[in-house]
Structure 1
Amino acid sequence: MRTAVVVGAGVGGLTAAGALARAGWKVTLLERDDRLRPGRAALVLWPNGVRALQALGLSGGLDGICTPVPPAGIRRPDGTWLVQPGASQIGSPPVVVHREDLHDAFIAGLGEQVDVRAGIEVQSARVHRDRPAVGDGRVTFEADLVVAADGPNSVIRRRLAASSTFASAGFAAWRAVIPWYRVPELPREVAPHGEALGDGQRFAYASLGERGSSGGSTRGGIYWVATVPGAPRPEPAAGQLALLRRWFADWHAPVGQLLAATEAEDLVQEPVGELTPLPETFGVPAGRGGYVLVGDAAHAMPHHLAQGASLALEDVATLHSVLVGSTSAGLGPALQEYSRLRRARALRVSQQSRKAAAVLQRRGRLASSLARVNPRALDRAAAVSAEWAGPTG
């Protein structure tokens, strides 16, 4: 039986562990926290991410936990339209899902072949007895394949591709989910989802289900994400929330109401940056096996296009596809094919992310040109990013 060590229990790590186990591999999943945690707030899945889940056999039940987010236009802070509703032509809309609901689905898909080891912080990666291995300074874990899903500051990537570094994108970002019992009654004319752009600032929100719904997720509410120029804030969560309320105080409804209903424990501040340059390869042969990079460990980028989770799922679906056709003689050809497919795809999405950033992060005098935003520019960036058709392309 082939063996794998998966490092990191986020979206990429959990799906990789489950996919390999269902394909007959014996899998060890390493997580540095003391237990598997779902992460907080919510995330967006574009059609490419949903297709990846389908390819992995994990799409069952998505309808019950996901809420579509159709294009709703973009407003200025004063509420006037920057991009009118209906101007976007992105095709199938993304969906928003609570992280805890998606986490539960991934945990259910792990199966009995996954040995979960929590409290293991990987510190090294090296070949051990002719096989790739990682260690935490006390224990060495070796396998035929090591999957690095340990995030933008990946220890394994630093060992395999030392020239690739995670650099700040120049702005701070926050996410939160306000549970329905705290969501204020919003005016009837306020849409259940929307987006607004200011001088380098951005605020977007979307409903997780419907208020009072008895089906689907029990973790519904309003999900919002806000970005502002500058470095991550060092203050405690309560201080960060106070700053957000001040920075967005005069923005149109429901921005102020949503921030007023948010509590400090709802708030999640996340590092936002870009991996530059991308590693030369996402698959590295080592002894009789090798290492692969997935998710942010391979191609972290700012969330202008909200593609982080979807790209990680694409990675895993592609990895699963190339490994199914590999032989027991060695993983080298499969790792090369994985890298060929995924690196080209990551470069393409990264280019589109930069194009979106040119619109979404305008500041100062450039912000005045927001009146001339062509929605087709954002549509093209979103469409190219979501165009992935399946594991072989």
Structure 2
Amino acid sequence: MRAAVVVGAGIGGLAAAGALARSGWKVTLLERDDRLRPGRAALVLWPNGVRALRALGLAAGLEGISTPVPPAGIRKPDGSWLVPPGVADIDSPPVVVHREDLHDAFIANLGEQVDVRGGVAVQSARVHRDRPAVGDGRVTFEGDLVVAADGPDSAIRRRLAAASTFASAGFAAWRAVIPWYRAPELPSGLPAHGELLGAGQRFGYASLGERGSAGGSTRGGIYWVATVPGALRPEPPAGQLALLRRWFAGWHAPVAQLLAATEADDLVQEPVGELAPLPDTFGPVAGSGGYALIGDAAHAMPHHLAQGASLALEDVATLQTVLAGGAVPAALAEYNRLRRPRILRVLQHSKKAASVLQQRSRFARVNPRTLERAAAAATEWAGPTG
């Protein structure tokens, strides 16, 4: 039986561990935290991400935990339209899903072939007994394959592709889910989701399910994400929330209402940045096996197109497919051949979207076709073989 080590138990790592186990691999899943914890807030899955879930056999039940988010236009802070509804439509809308729900679905599909090890902070990557291996300074874990799913600051990537570094894009982002029991009623006439764009600032929101469907559970509610220029804020969450309320004061409904209903413990702050340059290969060979870089460990990029989770799932679906074909080194070469051009194309369109979404002039205009083309390019992935 072939053995794999998966480093990182986020969305990509859990999906990879389960996919390998279901394909007959013996899997060791390493997580820095002492136990597997679901990510907070919610995430967006575009049609390409949903296709990847189907390819992985993980799409069953997705409709029950996700909510479609059809394009609803983009407003200015005063409520007037930058992009009216229906101008920049796409064929199939994305869905929004609570991270806890997706986490639970992936945990349920891990199977018995996955050995989960918490409290392991991987620091090294090397060849050990002709196989790729990683270690935390105390224990060495080796296998025929090591999957690096340890995020934008990946310790494995730093060892294998030291020239690739994660740099801030000059923006910070916050996410939160307001549970239904304290979520405000949206003003009459406003859709259940929307986006507003100001001078360098951005605020989007979407309902997770329908009010009352989750009772007092934190799984349902209203999800929002805000982006502002600047570095990560050092203040505690309560201070960050006060700043957000001040920065977005006077914006059109429901921004003020959502921020007023948000509590400090709801808040998740995230950097907005890019991995540059991309690693020369997403599948470095090591001895008789090798490493697979997936998700943000391979290609972190600003969230202008909200493609982070979807691209990571594409990576896993592609990796599962190529590994079915034979030897690990050849499979990794094919994985890189399929994934790197795809990521470069998405990155190119992400930068075009950034030129629209990060304009800092309050007199800026938005070309909806730029956003439409970027969304189409990002979602065009049809499956793991192309």
Take 1:73 and 1:53, find their aligned partners in 2: how far apart are those partners? 27
Take 2:204 and 2:322, find their aligned partners in 1: how far apart are those partners? 37
Take 2:2 and 2:257, find their aligned partners in 1: how far apart are those partners? 53
**Structure 2 unaligned residues grouped into runs of 5+:** none
Deviation for aligned residue 1:214: 5.7
Range that drifts further, 92-101 or 80-89: 80-89
Take 1:41 and 1:89, find their aligned partners in 2: how far apart are those partners? 26
SS of the equivalent of 2:252 reads coil
Q: Which amino acid aligns with 1:390?
A: G
| Distance change (3 Å), C-alpha of 1:218 and 1:64 | farther
- Tell me which of 344, 369, 375 is aligned to 2:368: 375
List per-residue Cα deviations over 1:137-160 (Å, max 9, x = no partner): 000001000000000010100111
Deviation for aligned residue 1:89: 2.3
Take 1:375 and 1:84, find their aligned partners in 2: how far apart are those partners? 9
Length-normalised TM-score, structure 1: 0.97
Please name the residue that 1:63 is paired with: 63
Q: Determine if the alignment matches structure 1 residue 213 to structure 2 residue 213.
A: yes
1:218-229 matches, within 5 Å, as: 219-229=219-229
Take 2:2 and 2:184, find their aligned partners in 1: how far apart are those partners? 53
List per-residue Cα deviations over 1:205-230 (Å, max 9, x = no partner): 00000001269x87110000000000
List per-residue Cα deviations over 1:39-67 (Å, max 9, x = no partner): 10000000000000000000000000000
Please name the residue that 1:333 is paired with: 330
Please name the residue that 2:345 is paired with: 348
Please name the residue that 1:388 is paired with: 381
Please name the residue that 2:190 is paired with: 190
Take 1:220 and 1:95, find their aligned partners in 2: how far apart are those partners? 14
Do 1:130 and 1:288's aligned partners in 2 also have CA atoms closer than 8 Å?
yes
Please name the residue that 2:133 is paired with: 133
Structure 1 runs of 4+ aligned residues shifted over 2 Å read: none
Please name the residue that 1:253 is paired with: 253
Please name the residue that 1:34 is paired with: 34
Q: Determine if the alignment matches structure 1 residue 116 to structure 2 residue 109.
A: no
Deviation for aligned residue 1:189: 1.0
Take 1:82 and 1:272, find their aligned partners in 2: how far apart are those partners? 23
Q: Determine if the alignment matches structure 1 residue 316 to structure 2 residue 316.
A: yes
Q: Which amino acid aligns with 1:37?
A: R
Do 2:5 and 2:143's aligned partners in 1 also have CA atoms closer than 8 Å?
yes
Q: Which amino acid aligns with 1:197?
A: L
SS of the equivalent of 1:272 reads strand
Range that drifts further, 134-143 or 218-227: 218-227
Do 2:74 and 2:82's aligned partners in 1 also have CA atoms closer than 8 Å?
yes
List per-residue Cα deviations over 1:77-132 (Å, max 9, x = no partner): 00011111111221100000000000000001100000000000001000001110
Range that drifts further, 187-196 or 255-264: 187-196
| Distance change (3 Å), C-alpha of 1:381 and 1:288 | same
Take 1:369 and 1:300, find their aligned partners in 2: how far apart are those partners? 27
SS of the equivalent of 1:195 reads strand
Please name the residue that 1:83 is paired with: 83
Take 1:294 and 1:187, find their aligned partners in 2: how far apart are those partners? 41
Do 2:289 and 2:328's aligned partners in 1 also have CA atoms closer than 8 Å?
yes
**Structure 1 unaligned residues grouped into runs of 5+:** none
List per-residue Cα deviations over 1:284-322 (Å, max 9, x = no partner): 111111111000000000000000000000000000000
Take 2:271 and 2:81, find their aligned partners in 1: how far apart are those partners? 30
Matched length? 385
1:229-308 matches, within 5 Å, as: 229-308=229-308
Deviation for aligned residue 1:369: 2.4
Do 1:283 and 1:335's aligned partners in 2 also have CA atoms closer than 8 Å?
yes
| Distance change (3 Å), C-alpha of 1:383 and 1:272 | same
Q: Which amino acid aligns with 2:51?
A: R
Do 1:89 and 1:376's aligned partners in 2 also have CA atoms closer than 8 Å?
no
Take 2:186 and 2:298, find their aligned partners in 1: how far apart are those partners? 41
Please name the residue that 1:15 is paired with: 15
SS of the equivalent of 2:342 reads helix
Q: Which amino acid aligns with 2:131?
A: R
Take 2:364 and 2:177, find their aligned partners in 1: how far apart are those partners? 32
List per-residue Cα deviations over 1:160-211 (Å, max 9, x = no partner): 1111000001001000000001111222212110000000000000000000
Q: Which amino acid aligns with 2:371?
A: L
Please name the residue that 1:143 is paired with: 143
Please name the residue that 1:153 is paired with: 153
Take 1:144 and 1:186, find their aligned partners in 2: how far apart are those partners? 53
Q: Which amino acid aligns with 1:175?
A: R
Do 2:180 and 2:214's aligned partners in 1 also have CA atoms closer than 8 Å?
no
Take 2:210 and 2:140, find their aligned partners in 1: how far apart are those partners? 48
Take 2:29 and 2:89, find their aligned partners in 1: how far apart are those partners? 41
Identity %: 81
| Distance change (3 Å), C-alpha of 1:17 and 1:53 | same
Do 1:21 and 1:27's aligned partners in 2 also have CA atoms closer than 8 Å?
yes
Q: Which amino acid aligns with 2:247?
A: W
Take 1:258 and 1:218, find their aligned partners in 2: how far apart are those partners? 15
Q: Which amino acid aligns with 2:364?
A: S
Take 2:39 and 2:249, find their aligned partners in 1: how far apart are those partners? 28
Do 1:290 and 1:335's aligned partners in 2 also have CA atoms closer than 8 Å?
yes
Take 2:106 and 2:169, find their aligned partners in 1: how far apart are those partners? 30
Take 2:329 and 2:186, find their aligned partners in 1: how far apart are those partners? 56
